[in-house]
Chain A
Amino acid sequence: DTGVSQDPRHKITKRGQNVTFRCDPISEHNRLYWYRQTLGQGPEFLTYFQNEAQLEKSRLLSDRFSAERPKGSFSTLEIQRTEQGDSAMYLCASSLSPDRRETQYFGPGTRLTVL
């Protein structure tokens, strides 16, 4: 049973560039979540999908951020015109719903550094 995978693991970019991250959930999981974690803080919710439908977006998700899950499997998170404040760890998680033991399992994260 493979876990959640994320690619790339690290990304360094210059301010103003666009970046895209990919997340592959656990294969049978229908829910997929994106979180952002800055140094010394707990993860903060960004958005989640049930199958291909994006059901909730946080106010943290500005217009420069967009997420997709086109076929209900992998997801991409794109940040346009990156800013230094976007530097963080971007975490993806997946879960199976409805399930009485619904639990989110996390991937290793993508660490973004904006210079």
Chain B
Amino acid sequence: AQKVTQAQTEISVVEKEDVTLDCVYETRDTTYYLFWYKQPPSGELVFLIRRNSFDEQNEISGRYSWNFQKSTSSFNFTITASQVVDSAVYFCALSERETSGSRLTFGEGTQLTVNP
């Protein structure tokens, strides 16, 4: 069965610090997709990134970067030079394309607080 674990429940940093959010997943499929979503206090889930299981190339988008390692079943998310506006709950999610349609299985989320 698919499972996503975000071991860090809460992280608190000071503005301009770098922070890494961990995500570990379990799946039996060879084809799957990994996602990160941001949920600010307003409540709406905002899509950040999607990776497929065949593409282990790391990705950078501005201050955000993602490190996908199949060998350790991890898909970690780093925010460089954090800002107060980055404060939110961040969810990692998994979609097993072949066995469960496109349903997303989410981790429990990491609450990130960036203090000024």
Chain A residues packing against B (C-beta within 8 Å):
31, 33, 35, 40-45, 48, 55-56, 58, 89, 91, 93, 95, 97, 101-109, 111
Q: Is the CB of B102 within 8 A of A48?
A: yes
Interface residues of B in 56-106 (CB under 8 A from A): 91, 93, 100-106
User: At the interface, is chain B mostly helix, strand, loop or mixed?
Assistant: loop
Cβ contact within 8 Å between A91 and B35: no
Q: Between A and B, how many residue pairs show CB distances below 8 Å?
A: 58
Distance of A68 from chain B, by nearest CB (Å): 18
Q: Which residues from A are CB-within-8-Å of B43?
A: 89, 108-109, 111
| Distance in Å: Cβ of B80 to nearest Cβ of chain A | 24
CA distance A44 to B106 in the complex (A): 7
In angstroms, Cα B61 to Cα A83, docked, is 44
A17 to chain B, nearest CB (A): 23
